[in-house]
Amino acid sequence: MGIQRMAALGAGSWGTALAIQLARNGVEVRLWGRDAEAINKLQAARENQRYLPGAALPPALIGEPDLAAAVAFAENVLVTVPSHALRETLAVLQPHLRPEQRLILATKGLEPGSARLPFEVAAEVLGEDRPVSLLSGPSFAGEVGRGLPTAVTIASNDATLAADMARAFHDGVFRVYVGADMAGVAVGGAVKNVLAIAVGISDGLGYGANARALLITRGLSEMVRLGEPLGGRRETFMGMAGLGDLLLTCTDDQSRNRRMGLALAAGRTVAEAEADIQQVVEGVRVAREVHRIAEREGVELPICEQVYSVLHADTAPPEAVRVLTERPFRNEID
Ligand SMILES: NC(=O)C1=CN([C@@H]2O[C@H](COP(=O)(O)OP(=O)(O)OC[C@H]3O[C@@H](n4cnc5c(N)ncnc54)[C@H](OP(=O)(O)O)[C@@H]3O)[C@@H](O)[C@H]2O)C=CC1
Ligand SMILES: O=C(CO)COP(=O)(O)O
């Protein structure tokens, strides 16, 4: 039997869009966020005016300000909070979870300070035995909200769970591919944020289409180089959660990470750009964690390193580009 009732935790733009998609497919959804007043407002307006304006909530989606009630209602739980909020959200969820409830995570990032992948954080907080899946891929919340064609990947080491979740989300407009490579899917969804900042910087400085293609292609190599030691498969990085999301995020101004890069190129500080964007920009924190993993694993990631340096070491964007372009020639294939 398919999934009929889902608790959706995290009512930002992506959590709301995914909850809407489930409800369109006939899943009864209880959408919870940490701000009870905002949830009551969303429920009254039948719209998330702050994070996803213009997308009407289907009747099957109810805003639920009480976490215990949302979780008690559901068979399974979707968690869509930023990576810096994942551990604390799972810890708040943990006492309410029943043994049979399974999870789907839609966070794209790495835990600040530990560089843990989202499903690793879930295993630490909820135990290794709790079935977990991960949803990622090229998918702007606004377009999903508007019902535009989209495809994502759902990965899990529990094939039944991946298939059940895919059935819950998949329809004639929102396609789901399933897989087992959670590490690859998680690394793709994290690293693409950093690379989109790089492309935003380059585009903002007016460096043109050749430089954009260079950064995306060599950025993909960096994703593979970082992801393989963490257990990700090369094929995964060539799919929706790798190259697919990288292309989307690097090339369209809907991306908040790309807009961060554009703002930095225009001379704004990270704090000023975040204040302008007013939504989560995962790449800012992820750049620090990618730097940490690269040092730990001994892998060279020149583009990610320069983004880290601009964001966290006060390197001027033109100087970061100069460091990249003046590198000596090398073999294209690792
Ligand atoms: N937006 C998109 O198009 C996509 C986003 N994603 C990923 O989804 C994840 C969520 O991002 P997104 O929805 O876009 O972010 P938004 O900026 O749209 O919303 C952030 C949400 O997280 C909540 N939040 C922030 N800090 C905390 C905290 N400490 N504890 C609990 N909740 C918190 C916010 O609540 P409050 O309003 O109370 O601050 C808000 O509901 C990210 O990892 C992102 O990369 C993935 C695919 C597409
Ligand atoms: O993950 C996303 C699209 O797949 C959203 O990208 P941004 O976080 O850069 O807006």
Quick: pLDDT tens for 173-215.
999 999 999 999 999 999 999 999 999 999 999 999 999 999 9
Both tokens assigned to 81: 């909070």
What percentage of the chain exceeds 90 in pLDDT?
A: 98
C-alpha 196 – ligand 2 centre gap (Å): 9
Check whether 87 has a pLDDT greater than 90. yes
Cβ–ligand 1 distance for 308 under 6 Å, the answer no
Q: Give the residue-averaged pLDDT of 214-235.
A: 98
In angstroms, how far is CA 287 from the centroid of its own chain? 14
CA distance 229 to 210: 30
CA distance 317 to 310: 6
Substitution candidate for ligand 1 out of 13, 42, 110, 125 with most atoms within 8 A of CB: 13
Both tokens assigned to 27: 């899943």
Cβ neighbours, 10 Å, residue 44: 9
Cβ neighbours, 10 Å, residue 253: 10
Check whether 1 has a pLDDT greater than 80. no
Q: Give the residue-averaged pLDDT of 304-327.
A: 96
Q: What is the pTM of this model?
A: 0.98
What percentage of the chain exceeds 70 in pLDDT?
A: 100
C-alpha 33 – ligand 1 centre gap (Å): 10
Residue 155: CA count within 13 A, CB half-sphere = 25
Cβ–ligand 1 distance for 90 under 6 Å, the answer no
Please report the pLDDT score of residue 204 as a whole number.
98
Q: Which residues are catalytic?
A: 192
Largest CA distance in the chain: 60
Both tokens assigned to 62: 């109810």
Q: Is the ipTM of this complex over 0.90?
A: yes
